[in-house]
A and B are shown apart, each in its own frame.
Chain A
Amino acid sequence: MSNSDAALTPGQVETTPAGKGLMSQETRDIIVNGLWTQNPGIVQLLGLCPLLAISNNVVNALSLGLATTLVMAVASGSVALVRNFIPHEIRIPAFVLIIAALVTIVELAMHAWVPALYIVLGVFLPLITTNCIVLARVEAFASKRSTAHSILDASMMGLGLTAVLVVLGGMREAIGKGTLFSGIDLMLGPVAKDWVIPLAHDYSGFLLAVLPPGAFIGLGLLIALRNRMQMRDGGRGG
């Protein structure tokens, strides 16, 4: 994916004067790239398998998004730390081992503390290992840049993906079931049982939105919306 490589060149977007405020130009670029310009969900189109499969409601989307973000941040951080010790030829297997170990930790932790959510997310938790956005950030960014920047980059990319997941999940849940945050008690415990927001009474449901085709149509609309906003902006970035 040439798109992910493009994120390497600093200062290709956001031509605001450097050194304004507390953040350096480079830091600002990393944040804007992750959240918007190079958003993994709707620009790079990486990591779509969980994005499409698990975004049928807000709670699932948010929890898988956060789990992925956590794995990404720690994976990128650790790879950046050891990047000078890994022989170039075997770097990919080494990266995958690091990622897989981290995913196992997250998976076991979720099994221990949020077992109900763990069952709902099912196979998509271990599948974070093979999620191409994790490896893409590690290979394209963390293996070449400083640790702090790598952690920031991975967190922002992860949050960008999480944001798309939550918006898509919200759309699909609202249209498909007429609620928002159903199943939030799986995430936060029985206290949150009443936090589900019913949007319409006596809503018969729109099954297509909850089924996989709904995910594709919804994602297509989000991408179209983003491109439209980009065009309005006069085509800067991307």
Chain B
Amino acid sequence: MIGSPYIFGRNSTSLVMLKVMLALIPGIAAHAWFFGPGIWVSLLLCSAFALGFETLILLLRGLPLKPFLSDNSALLTAWLLALSLPTLAPWWLYAVGMLFAIVVAKQLYGGIGQNLFNPAMVGYAALIVSFPVYMTQWPAPIALADHALTIVDAFDVVFAGQGAISPDAYTSATVLDTWKTQVRLGTPVETILAQPMFGWAGGLAGRLGGQEIVALMYFVGGLALLSIRLITWHIPLAFLIGVAATAGVLHLIDPTQHASPLLHLLSGGVMLGAFFIATDPVSAASTPRGKLIYAVMAGFLVAIIRAFGSYPDGVAFAVLLMNMCVPFIDHFTQPRVFGHTRTAAKDAK
């Protein structure tokens, strides 16, 4: 989350990762408040699997454990993946996700700083392609659930499966899922938006939905990262504009098929993606103009995948697709070198 030409020492890497994790805390707290304690279980599990896999691969590669384990990068990946996955999923789902994130996407490509793709999003993509059923069972907002789970219940569900309590009592479709299925069934937009889960974006003025407050808390955390200059404004702003503009155009064309930009900005993984995922310093573009192109395109893809794709959310695929374009984008957006004119720089190429 630093502009790329600067090199930081190992301690600084660990500090940077730690600060990003701290910036996630408001979002996590809001998540726990509105969707129950399941998030603690998935954060704990993902962190444990991340450190486990990281240790295993470092041993296989014959690398020292302490400097690499204490750089906090595996933990940050674990947190980002945990926040993207449904809580209360079976424990092995988190294990498989972390296997793909840490082993395949990060270590097989050469470890920290070498990965072409965002590790957390590779884990997410592998899971949503392989286990779509588990990936769409999200916990219902506590206020709307028939049965609120305690933290003990949450551990029970994750490790022992859904025993005594029926999953229908505490899970529900997400906002984006509901929108997609209902619109395809031909339900009028007013009826869909009148469901309490849609909150503010659904027109219930003064009553924010749980997922909206979580999104706003990620926004607050992201602003904190901006203010301490861990990230620059380019990627978050361009990403949000990309989503909002594309969703806005689609909404203007056909409001009965496409949700409003506000709903898109405040649902799914957009806020988390804009400030914490798309800004990954390794897999994102690194020149200022490159960052703008990269993030606008990623935002555009999110809205397009949401509108026309078969998966309800598209942040992971959008970010991965744009990760692929990063070397190309960076190559063509090199800034003018100080002392050279723009044409001279071109001639030099």
Interface residues of A (CB under 8 A from B): 204-209, 211, 213, 217, 220
Cross-chain pairs A/B with CB under 8 angstroms, 16 sampled: A204-B131, A205-B130, A206-B96, A206-B130, A206-B131, A207-B129, A207-B130, A207-B131, A208-B126, A208-B129, A208-B130, A209-B130, A211-B129, A213-B129, A217-B104, A220-B108
Please give the distance in Å from B22's CB to the nearest CB on chain A: 33
Interface residues of B (CB under 8 A from A): 96, 104, 108, 126, 129-131
List of A residues within 8 angstroms of B126 by Cβ: 208
Measured CB to CB, the nearest residue on chain B to A217 is: B104
Measured CB to CB, the nearest residue on chain B to A213 is: B129
Please give the distance in Å from B57's CB to the nearest CB on chain A: 12
Measured CB to CB, the nearest residue on chain A to B132 is: A207
Please give the distance in Å from B119's CB to the nearest CB on chain A: 15
CA of A211 to CA of B96, assembled, Å? 16
List of A residues within 8 angstroms of B131 by Cβ: 204, 206-207
CA of A220 to CA of B108, assembled, Å? 10
CA of A128 to CA of B130, assembled, Å? 30
Task: Describe A's contact surface by its main secondary structure.
Answer: helix
CA of A220 to CA of B104, assembled, Å? 11
CA of A108 to CA of B294, assembled, Å? 51
List of B residues within 8 angstroms of A213 by Cβ: 129
Please give the distance in Å from A20's CB to the nearest CB on chain B: 38
Measured CB to CB, the nearest residue on chain B to A176 is: B130
Measured CB to CB, the nearest residue on chain A to B133 is: A204
CA of A204 to CA of B129, assembled, Å? 13
CA of A92 to CA of B155, assembled, Å? 65
CA of A207 to CA of B129, assembled, Å? 7
Measured CB to CB, the nearest residue on chain A to B90 is: A204
Q: A205-B130, A206-B130, A208-B130 are in contact. List 8 more A-B contacts (CB 8 A).
A: A206-B96, A207-B129, A207-B130, A209-B130, A211-B129, A213-B129, A217-B104, A220-B108
Please give the distance in Å from B342's CB to the nearest CB on chain A: 41
List of A residues within 8 angstroms of B96 by Cβ: 206
Please give the distance in Å from A224's CB to the nearest CB on chain B: 8
CA of A211 to CA of B126, assembled, Å? 11
Please give the distance in Å from A175's CB to the nearest CB on chain B: 10
Measured CB to CB, the nearest residue on chain B to A221 is: B108
Centre residue among B96, B108, B130 by max chain A CB count within 10 A: B130
CA of A204 to CA of B161, assembled, Å? 14
List of B residues within 8 angstroms of A209 by Cβ: 130
Measured CB to CB, the nearest residue on chain B to A207 is: B130
Measured CB to CB, the nearest residue on chain B to A204 is: B131
Measured CB to CB, the nearest residue on chain B to A224 is: B108
Please give the distance in Å from A221's CB to the nearest CB on chain B: 9
CA of A71 to CA of B25, assembled, Å? 62
List of A residues within 8 angstroms of B108 by Cβ: 220
CA of A209 to CA of B129, assembled, Å? 10
List of A residues within 8 angstroms of B129 by Cβ: 207-208, 211, 213
Which 5 pairs, one residue from A and one from B, show the smallest C-beta to C-beta distance? A208-B130, A207-B130, A206-B130, A208-B129, A208-B126
Please give the distance in Å from A51's CB to the nearest CB on chain B: 20
Please give the distance in Å from A157's CB to the nearest CB on chain B: 29
List of A residues within 8 angstroms of B130 by Cβ: 205-209
CA of A207 to CA of B96, assembled, Å? 12
List of B residues within 8 angstroms of A220 by Cβ: 108
CA of A222 to CA of B254, assembled, Å? 50
List of B residues within 8 angstroms of A204 by Cβ: 131
List of B residues within 8 angstroms of A207 by Cβ: 129-131
Please give the distance in Å from A177's CB to the nearest CB on chain B: 12
Measured CB to CB, the nearest residue on chain A to B104 is: A217
List of B residues within 8 angstroms of A217 by Cβ: 104
CA of A207 to CA of B130, assembled, Å? 4
Please give the distance in Å from A178's CB to the nearest CB on chain B: 13
CA of A209 to CA of B96, assembled, Å? 12
Measured CB to CB, the nearest residue on chain A to B129 is: A208
CA of A120 to CA of B225, assembled, Å? 54
Measured CB to CB, the nearest residue on chain A to B100 is: A208
Please give the distance in Å from A37's CB to the nearest CB on chain B: 25
List of A residues within 8 angstroms of B104 by Cβ: 217
CA of A208 to CA of B130, assembled, Å? 5
Measured CB to CB, the nearest residue on chain A to B134 is: A204
Please give the distance in Å from A215's CB to the nearest CB on chain B: 14
Please give the distance in Å from A199's CB to the nearest CB on chain B: 16
Please give the distance in Å from A204's CB to the nearest CB on chain B: 7
Measured CB to CB, the nearest residue on chain B to A175 is: B130
Please give the distance in Å from B296's CB to the nearest CB on chain A: 27
Please give the distance in Å from B261's CB to the nearest CB on chain A: 32
CA of A211 to CA of B104, assembled, Å? 17
CA of A204 to CA of B130, assembled, Å? 10
CA of A220 to CA of B109, assembled, Å? 12
Please give the distance in Å from A200's CB to the nearest CB on chain B: 12
CA of A213 to CA of B129, assembled, Å? 10
CA of A217 to CA of B122, assembled, Å? 13
